[in-house]
Amino acid sequence: MATDTASLFEFLCRLGDNTLVLGHRVSEWCGVSPVLEEDIALANVALDLIGQTQLWLGLAGEIEGKGRDADKLAFHRDVWDFRNVLLVEQPNGDFGQTMMRQFLFDAWHLTYLKGLNTSSNDRIAEIAEKSVKEVTYHLERSTDTVIGLGDGNEESHKRMQKALDRLYPFVGEMFLSDDVDAAMVAHGIAPDPAGLRSGYEEHISGVLTEATLEKPTDDFAHKGGKTGVRHTEHLGHMLTQMQWLQRAYPDATW
């Protein structure tokens, strides 16, 4: 049975939009990070994510077959056409909030990419294999930072707990399954997101315990980003900054 082209395109946009939006968010720290080492490290993480975006959205454009490449999909879609989870579009806030957002996403991202390693779609499996190497580093780094700040001094602990309390309600959306996910599972292309939740919670609980942080017990989940039904106001403002050059000067070349 052939894979539904529309579902596969939607699925690839979800992967590419997650990395695009988070990559841009992380890049906003370039030149203003707390210390030079973090400035360089965050810039490298952003570059990794944008590189993954190029691959996911590039493949999405090929699947769609309408002549849109990764650049067109990144810069010429409006906010309601984006399919990223709401977590990644949340503003940077302070450094602690940025790193908590990164950790919560990295822990899911690495698990999901490992599931894509065995995808029945060779192109997806190849992109996932490359991305796993990069995201393994991302998770190691964000984990160490969350532990260091959570179990640091009184001020750093307070800020990390505040960041966790604010961002945890966005975690649940990463594990919601819909018709697109079901189609990918049916064709052996991707794992069922819902089946990854228990392992994820076990992993982050261990890290948060070491960081002396208390994980929220409320299972409420903000949703709507991955389906395009609803985004927060933050995404529109971010896209205004990210897309303005291509919108002002369409198809400009250097």
Q: Which residue, 238, 108, 113, is CA-closest to 168? A: 108
Structural domains for the chain? 5-248 (1.20.1260.10)
Q: Which residue, 30, 172, 19, is CA-closest to 109? A: 19
CA 102 to chain centre: 8
Both tokens of residue 119?
């995808």
Give the CA-trace dihedral at 128, 134, 140, 144, to 10 degrees.
Answer: -130
User: Per residue of the chain (254 residues), what is the pLDDT tens digit?
Assistant: 456 999 999 999 999 999 999 999 999 999 999 899 999 999 999 999 999 999 999 999 999 999 999 999 999 999 999 999 999 999 999 999 999 999 999 999 999 999 999 999 999 999 999 999 999 999 999 999 999 999 999 999 999 999 999 999 999 999 999 999 999 999 999 999 999 999 999 999 999 999 999 999 998 999 999 999 999 999 999 999 999 999 999 877 77
* 120 and 188 Cβ atoms separated by less than 8 Å: yes
Query: Can you state the angle between helices 5-27 and 179-186, rounded to 10 degrees?
Result: 110
3-state DSSP call for residue 23? helix
Consecutive H or E run containing 240: helix 233-248
Q: Which residue, 63, 56, 59, is CA-closest to 6? A: 63
| CB atoms inside a 10 Å sphere around CB 188 | 12
| CB atoms inside a 10 Å sphere around CB 232 | 16
Looking at residue 92, what DSSP letter applies? -
